[in-house]
C-alpha cells in the first residue's frame, strides 16, 4: 500500500520534512506511451506546470484502459479515481516528449493502485516525476463500490 515518510519526533523538535508517497518495488508494468510536451503546458517559470503532470498520468491511464476494453458505461460499472498524487524530481520543459510508464499493484476486492513514472524520451531512465492513483470499481447508477470484475482482476493482479 501507500508508504509515507513520517517524522515521529515531538512537535517542538520536529524538523519539517516533505511528504512523499513512494512507488512500490512490487508492481506490474501494463502500459507505456509517449506524449509531446506542448508550449502551452509550460507556466510563467518556463517549465511544465505541476497540474500538467497529472494530465500526463491521466492520459496514460485512459489510453491503457481503452486498450484493454475498459469503456465505462454511465448506466453500468467502471473505474473512478479515489485519490491522486505526484512527486516532482526534475523539471520538464518544451520542446520534448515525455514517456509515461503505467504500473498496477495492490489489487483488492473493489480497488487497485496505479503508478506512473515520467521521463523525457531523450533522457531515458531519468525519472522527472512519479505519481499514482487509487482506482475503485463503481456501479454508477447506485454510486457504490462493487467487486472488480474478474477480467480486470486478472489484468491488475
Instruction: Say what the pTM is.
Output: 0.85
Spatial distance between the Cα atoms of 135 and 110, rounded to a whole number of angstroms: 8
Encode pLDDT of 131-152 as tens digits: 999 999 999 999 999 999 999 9
Percent of the chain with pLDDT over 90: 81
Spatial distance between the Cα atoms of 150 and 43, rounded to a whole number of angstroms: 43
Under 8 Å CB-to-CB from 51, ≥6 apart: which residues? none
pLDDT score of 23: 84
Q: Which residue has the cell 454511465?
A: 74
Domains and CATH numbers, the chain: 24-156 (3.10.129.10)
pLDDT score of 14: 55
Nearest Cα to Cα of residue 116 among 43, 27, 19:
27
Under 8 Å CB-to-CB from 122, ≥6 apart: which residues? 96, 97
pLDDT score of 11: 52
Residue 17 banded pLDDT, cuts 50, 70, 90? low
Q: Is the pLDDT of residue 7 over 60?
A: no
Chain mean pLDDT for the chain: 90
pLDDT score of 141: 97
Encode pLDDT of 59-100 as tens digits: 999 999 999 999 888 999 999 999 999 999 999 999 999 999
SS3 36: strand
Residue 48 banded pLDDT, cuts 50, 70, 90? very high
Amino acid at each position: 500500500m501507500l508508504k509515507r515518510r513520517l517524522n515521529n519526533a515531538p512537535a517542538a523538535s520536529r524538523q519539517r520534512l516533505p511528504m512523499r508517497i513512494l512507488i512500490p518495488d512490487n508492481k506490474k508494468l501494463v502500459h507505456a506511451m509517449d506524449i509531446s510536451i506542448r508550449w502551452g503546458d509550460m507556466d510563467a517559470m518556463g517549465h511544465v506546470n505541476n497540474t500538467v503532470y497529472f494530465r500526463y498520468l491521466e492520459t496514460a491511464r485512459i489510453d491503457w484502459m481503452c486498450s484493454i476494453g475498459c469503456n465505462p458505461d454511465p448506466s453500468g460499472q467502471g473505474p473512478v479515481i479515489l485519490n491522486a498524487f505526484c512527486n516532482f524530481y526534475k523539471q520538464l520543459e518544451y520542446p520534448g516528449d515525455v514517456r509515461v510508464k503505467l504500473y498496477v499493484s495492490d489489487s483488492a476486492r473493489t480497488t487497485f493502485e496505479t503508478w506512473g513514472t515520467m521521463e523525457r524520451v531523450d533522457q531515458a531512465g531519468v525519472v522527472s516525476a512519479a505519481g499514482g492513483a487509487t482506482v475503485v470499481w463503481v456501479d454508477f447508477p447506485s454510486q457504490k463500490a462493487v467487486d472488480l470484475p474478474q477480467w480486470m482482476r486478472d489484468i491488475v493482479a
